[in-house]
Structure 1
């Protein structure tokens, strides 16, 4: 038999078992690498309302697709004519065409969509959400003026028939924003509505056609081209409020990356000023989110490192990797002199916590004369006026504050750090402006990266577990440790090594590898799985040995 070339004859019976283990490992590895990430699967098929348009990022239809397949504020609906619509200024606008390549879409007011009428209906002003949409270039604002005194106008024949018999909407005057008659007309008319169009027509028929044709909007969501070119689908992480590229293995920051490229994609980063940025932090756009822990992404703004939460941006003044802390300053007031209106600071307390010198400044804005509180307070002069005053109070922890704030318009807690702690300190003996400018410190907990870095690796995060990226491959905590076969990557590498060694002409090489601790561990794992699942009752009874694993093989002496 061919196996006699590799092993003594008395070991031949174990070969069927070894082959079975090889098959099992192959199936496990293939299944692990072949099953796509659920986020990737959920967003891989474009949505549609039925009019032939594909709807994909940044747009999505709530109820049809998951919210993470789109971008906040880009929700679409389907009307009774199977057309996608978007809500602008509390008015349904028909989405006639989406141009994904240049990030524009053509929309038209649904009130103008009826081609059987020859009148101009009453509508609302278009107020675009500037954070999401802008008018595309070469669009014109058309003013529809209602309830006009025609005797004050030079050319009353320019009125067009409205769709309602009420006096104020019976006729409509339509003028473009550049028309010299607009100024006088606005004084002669009591109400006006702005309706964007692509160009301006000279007669009623053209104007009604322009209104039905609509106008172009340009959206501001993150471009999807880089992600799509890498084989991913674009999405959004509502927890961190950041763009995500949904890939077969898992979501990434900007694009899907080749297998085992963790070391190259995770160099230390920097925004230009401030501390060097490395694990557990990573810089958006320069590396991948596998270079740090979830929620530890850092943006760069004017060469400053920015830690962003759902309530605002904070400048990172320093990172102390030795004791796992970092100092933050409110980005809006880092260089300010009057703290007229702060906002609450929120963060994920499961991975971060304040240090023991933490305290809170409580700001009470625009309080009436009856405002009273059981703490010493100080007036915030720049946020007060003749009738309503604003105050600031120092407390140990806002979570322990339970007094009423109903006499004030707003209440905000801002974390600070006190040298020596909170004991015997009040708002009267501290400079709250200086405290706010100095910022506060947060402490993180979790994986210690020292062993990985000392071994020449770079720390990262893969599939819910901390890893060490090395030049050769991915390790668990250090580049010097033996591979862990419980990890799918270890199983896959083990199978690759087996294939390579089977092709060698030296029998002792394969024999030595087959009985190495790594191979024995792999087979033992396989054997335990076979016992737990069982092949037949007879086989389970045959291999039932008290106190030991009957398939554990000891390395023979040759």
Structure 2
């Protein structure tokens, strides 16, 4: 009977936890805003805080059937959420693919998002600039002026460029940089409509890092491969041969052997000293015994 008590207690604990999990699922059904489904790790402001990840960045607003994503003091429109690949696409509120004279409200650096969200490497910068002289380059696409009107002369030439690594002409001033999820299936020489189409598709942000706790605690490199979150340790998961790895990985590999051989050598040395001491002691004892009995050595 005594042996059955722990089993009964474990069963009751399991049923209690399972019941609480079911209650939590009942209290946190998927909500919607427009045509978007909102579920964990996101939640609407009207949902209990326990229904979303414990960070204000995952709290979304629904205004006139439009989902709003807030980061710092900025508010973006949510175009799509894909829960299978841990991605959300957000758009500057002033960008409209049907209005090619609109200017983005916000200017973003690559690392301007929260520490939890990660900007996908396929995102591309879109630069709005103005020049005091015309620029003859297919990379410079004529666009509306999106700079400060009080600081420019009467004769200006406004352009937009998509992509990085493009040299800025000496006669040009950068007004703002926004991000898009990049061109999809069009030529390398973009049009204004194509660039605004990319901006309207939004910038892709990933939240997979909230699932990297265990990996980070084990000093692993947490990454996303398709829809699978991976945790790799540089030395253990490196596919290159040991001779091609750096000193740190080689030291990590050989350290157990060095310690093992060192302990073995140290133990052998201690054993050898004990053996020599034992032999010396025995010789001394035998010598003393012979002297006491007047026996020849």
Question: What's the TM-score bracket when you normalise by the shorter of the two chains?
Answer: 0.5 to 0.7
For 1:104 and 1:134, the matched residues in 2 are separated by 9
**Aligned match of 2:248:** none
Q: Note closer, same or farther for the CA distance 1:70–1:190 as it changes in structure 2 (3 Å cut).
A: same
For 1:87 and 1:57, the matched residues in 2 are separated by 16
Contact 1:131 1:220 in 2 (8 A): no
**Aligned match of 2:108:** 126
Structure 2: gaps spanning 5 or more residues = 1-11, 221-297
Q: 2:40 aligns with which of 54, 57, 61?
A: 57
Give the TM-score of the pair, scaled to structure 2. 0.53
**Aligned match of 2:31:** 47
Q: Note closer, same or farther for the CA distance 1:67–1:171 as it changes in structure 2 (3 Å cut).
A: farther
1:204 and 2:192 correspond = yes
Q: Note closer, same or farther for the CA distance 1:171–1:124 as it changes in structure 2 (3 Å cut).
A: farther
> C-alpha deviations, 1:472-521, integer Å up to 9, x for none?
xxxxxxxxxxxxxxxxxxxxxxxxxxxxxxxxxxxxxxxxxxxxxxxxxx
> C-alpha deviations, 1:122-148, integer Å up to 9, x for none?
422224335211222322111122x43
For 1:190 and 1:35, the matched residues in 2 are separated by 57
Q: Note closer, same or farther for the CA distance 1:47–1:108 as it changes in structure 2 (3 Å cut).
A: same
For 2:133 and 2:19, the matched residues in 1 are separated by 67
Q: Note closer, same or farther for the CA distance 1:99–1:171 as it changes in structure 2 (3 Å cut).
A: farther
Structure in which a larger fraction of residues adopt helix: 2
Contact 2:92 2:104 in 1 (8 A): no
Contact 1:76 1:86 in 2 (8 A): yes
**Aligned match of 2:81:** 98
Contact 1:97 1:106 in 2 (8 A): yes
For 1:110 and 1:148, the matched residues in 2 are separated by 26
* SS of alignment partner, residue 113 of structure 1: coil
Q: Note closer, same or farther for the CA distance 1:138–1:122 as it changes in structure 2 (3 Å cut).
A: closer
Q: Note closer, same or farther for the CA distance 1:164–1:135 as it changes in structure 2 (3 Å cut).
A: closer
CA RMSD of aligned residues (A): 3.7
Structure 1: gaps spanning 5 or more residues = 1-28, 225-242, 244-283, 286-298, 304-558
For 2:102 and 2:35, the matched residues in 1 are separated by 29
1:70 and 2:56 correspond = no
Give the TM-score of the pair, scaled to structure 1. 0.30
1:216 and 2:204 correspond = yes
Q: Note closer, same or farther for the CA distance 1:67–1:143 as it changes in structure 2 (3 Å cut).
A: same
How many residue pairs end up in the alignment? 193
| Greater RCO (CA < 8 Å, at least 6 residues apart) | 2
Contact 1:99 1:105 in 2 (8 A): yes
1:16-415 matched pairs, under 5 angstroms = 36-37=19-20, 38-43=23-28, 45-49=29-33, 51-62=34-45, 64-71=46-53, 72=55, 73-80=57-64, 82-88=65-71, 90-113=73-96, 115=98, 117-127=99-109, 128-145=112-129, 147-151=130-134, 153-155=135-137, 158-162=141-145, 166=149, 172-180=158-166, 182-184=167-169, 188-199=172-183, 202-223=190-211, 300-302=217-219
Contact 2:76 2:90 in 1 (8 A): yes
* SS of alignment partner, residue 206 of structure 1: helix
> C-alpha deviations, 1:168-196, integer Å up to 9, x for none?
6986421133353x3326x6215332333
